[in-house]
Structure 1
Amino acid sequence: MKLRSTLELLQWKAGNGISDKAFTQLLKLIKEFLPEGNKLPETTYEAKEVTCPIGLEVQKIHACPNDCILYRGPHEDLEACPVCKASRYKIRRNDPGDIEGEAPRKRVLAKVMWYFPIIPRLRRLFQNREHAKLVCWHKEDRKEDDMLRHPVDGSQWRKVDRAYPEFAEDARNIRTTTIMMPALIQGPKQPGNDIDVYLQPLVEELQELWNTGVEMWDEYK
């Protein structure tokens, strides 16, 4: 119940753009209403600590404001986009810059993508006995006849089976699961055809899964 309540509150926080300070105030208010000795976290930091062990990793990746590049890999340490020359940080009007004797001012990023790695989430699927069984349904429990009920009954699925028989043999090789949201891209406009820039981390994970594979604990088996 502690984990479920904390997750639902954090999802509400993210969905409504609530600040960490306001969320901490809310947690303290709810905690006062609950019976004495309850285990609800008191701060945003404590709430995030509750979710960390289950693999809800989030990566904050800087992006060009014109969707040219992500500041990662060879671009990680750049101050401006090598394609359009736009600054990595927002430029304030009448900004005097850092003042001698005072702490440096925190620079505001021009654009950010929040990436949710899929490999830890797939691992978590198999750590739950019920979910691990459902992931293997397509091979172990589905009804095989001439009816089309699911993508697994379609010609494209069978084409993959024929092209990659070793992959198709193991029911735990993922082809279709629950919907996952891998990224949130800062607005105010959609990246359009430049979406491929933001898909780079996802493509790298998919390549790792396909070419190498990852080990995981199967709670069902």
Structure 2
Amino acid sequence: MNNLERGWMYERLDGRGAINSSFITGVDKFIQFACTQQDHLSGDKVRCPCKKCHNFRFMHVEIVKHHLYKTGFVDNYFVWKHQGEKDVINEISSGQDLHGSDQPELTYDNPYRQMVLDVSCPNFSQGSSWQSSSNIEPQPTHPCEPLMEEDPNPDSQKLYDLLQAATQKLYPDSSLSQLVLVSQMLNIKMENNMSQRGYNQMMQLLKEALPEDNMGDDEHLTCCTFCGHERYKRRVGSRKRKLVPYKKMYYFPLIPRLQRLYASPATATDMRWHHEHTKEDGVMHHPSDSEAWKHFNETHYFFAVEPRNVRLGLCTNGFQPFSQSGSKYSSWPVIFTPYNLPPGMCMKEAYMFLTVIVPGPTNPKHKIDVYLQPLIKELNLLWEIGVEAFDISKKQNFQLRAALMWTISDFPAYSMLSR
């Protein structure tokens, strides 16, 4: 589709502030087209491409019209991919650029692809490969900084390769990608009540194609390195060989998600907002306007000189995930927020990174530092050395550092964190 033919999409208002008749007519054609694509509907609802929903939500037709009349279409959405329209030329060219072959990628006809995009970052679909953002003119962080474009570093390239692999066909003429295959296998296991043993035997056939597990240096330890307590319960008289731990926790690494913020064209520029926005004397619009932030920059100049370094806030508290009528159960999540982002983004759910979950049933109390060890290890690495990241907005690799600026909690949780 020629972009000129859909110029009406971004000519919503006329000179008097009223909605153009061409825009209303175009919206009607869009709705008519979207309703004919049965594979991309959710009942009688269609994906809303307005600037607020970003094609993530299914809405009734009238609500979609209202959103488009109010806010307009998301930027550069000339091809209605989420509604079922194909852009064959771009699909083939992107596949050739990345893989050196003529094999086209799976398009949005594959709904599983959105699963990866949702996990990666909001609006990552606007640039699922770093080459797809080549039309964005990179801007230097400092006026006098020489601009040199680079290829992504190996760690960042893994993310782009993962996104491409999620849409790449298993073999020529295949209708399935690797993600579709694995998802459907799990669905078959669930629907047919397949035993774990049978499923494991089936998965054994694909073991050669799966990456090796990476459980870290403490995988084979039988005692806690902090207090010396045994890791597993002793099961006297039991014939089962399965080891049962005293306590479990769930940890989701922070570093890959910080790198992803710069790997996505939807957030890379916004991560420098704290440094580039216009400051007004005597008015605090953002924590970067506060005296504490300025004092930190003066004290740690080596950190502040790179605007892309990340300032983090940590929040934790216990909550009861079950009904109040049941037995007591206290679960403790640890959430990080990057405060580089503008106020309208850093408080959104998409940018609150769940990093640690300490399940119940009891409160970890003063032992919470045991569960925070992998997190503290990551934070020390980010502060002392940093990790290599790729800034897609400037096409450059840089050393990404991060600092924990503050914690947010009530007084009982504060007493636990301050020990």
TM-score (norm 1): 0.61
Q: CA 1:79–1:172 in 2, change beyond 3 Å: closer, same or farther?
A: same
1:150 to 258, 275, 286: 286
Equivalent position to 2:253, from 100, 110, 117: 117
Contact 1:59 1:116 in 2 (8 A): no
Q: Distance in 1 between matches of 2:117 and 2:238?
A: 40
Give the equivalent residue in structure 2 for 1:13.
Answer: none
Counterparts of 1:91-106 in structure 2, within 5 Å, are 91-92=234-235, 94-96=237-239, 105-106=241-242
Shift of 1:78: 4.0
Match of 1:161 among 297, 300, 304: 297
Count matched residues: 163
The answer for the alignment partner of 2:184 in structure 1 is: 42
Contact 2:265 2:392 in 1 (8 A): yes
1:131 aligns with 2:259: no
- Please, what is the CA RMSD of the aligned residues? 3.1
1:92-150 CA distance string (max 9 Å, x none): 464145xxxxxxx3222222222111111111111001211111110013444321121
Q: Which stretch shifts more, 208-217 or 77-86?
A: 77-86
Distance 1:96 1:5, change over 3 A: closer
Residue 378 (structure 2) pairs with residue 205 (structure 1): yes
Matched, 1:171 2:314: no
CA drift of 1:192 comes to 1.4
Per-residue deviation, 1:158: 0.5
Q: Could you say what secondary structure the match of 1:189 adopts? A: coil
Identify which of structures 1 and 2 has the higher relative contact order when contacts are C-alpha pairs closer than 8 Å and 6+ apart.
Answer: 1
Is 1:90 the counterpart of 2:263 in the alignment? no
CA distance in 1, matches of 2:176, 2:269: 34
Is 2:363 the counterpart of 1:190? yes
Distance 1:154 1:84, change over 3 A: closer
- Structure number with higher strand proportion: 2
Aligned with 2:363: secondary structure?
coil
SS across alignment from 2:303: helix
Q: 1:84: Cα distance to partner? A: 6.8
What one-letter code is carried by the residue in structure 1 that aligns with 2:369?
D
Shift in alpha-carbon separation, 1:84–1:119, aligned structure 2, 3 A? closer
Q: TM-score, normalised by structure 2?
A: 0.34
Cα distance change, pair 183–147 in 1 and its aligned pair in 2 (3 A): same
In 2, Cα distance between equivalents of 1:91 and 1:199: 25
Structure 2 counterpart of 1:2, from 112, 116, 119:
112
Query: Which residue of structure 1 aligns with residue 202 of structure 2?
Result: none
Match of 2:393 in 1: 220
d(CA) in 1 for partners of 2:242, 2:360: 21
Give me the whole-angstrom Cα distance separating, in 1, the residues matched to 2:224 and 2:372. Answer: 18
Deviation at 1:38, TM superposition (A): 7.6
Gaps of at least 5 residues in structure 1 are: 10-36, 46-57, 62-71, 98-104
Is 1:60–1:115's contact at 8 Å kept on the other side of the alignment?
Answer: no
Could you tell me how far apart the structure 2 residues matched to 1:150 and 1:91 are?
53
- CA gap of 1:184–1:162, structure 2 versus 1, over 3 A, is same
CA contact (8 A) 2:279 2:289 kept: no
Q: Deviations over 1:18-64 (max 9, x none)?
A: xxxxxxxxxxxxxxxxxxx686431349xxxxxxxxxxxx9768xxx
Is the contact between residue 130 and residue 220 of structure 1 (CA under 8 Å) also seen in structure 2?
no
Structure 2: 5+ residue runs without aligned partners?
1-110, 120-174, 188-212, 313-337, 339-350, 395-419
Provide the C-alpha distance between the structure 1 equivalents of 2:291 and 2:361, rounded to a whole number of angstroms. Answer: 40
Aligned match of 1:79: 222
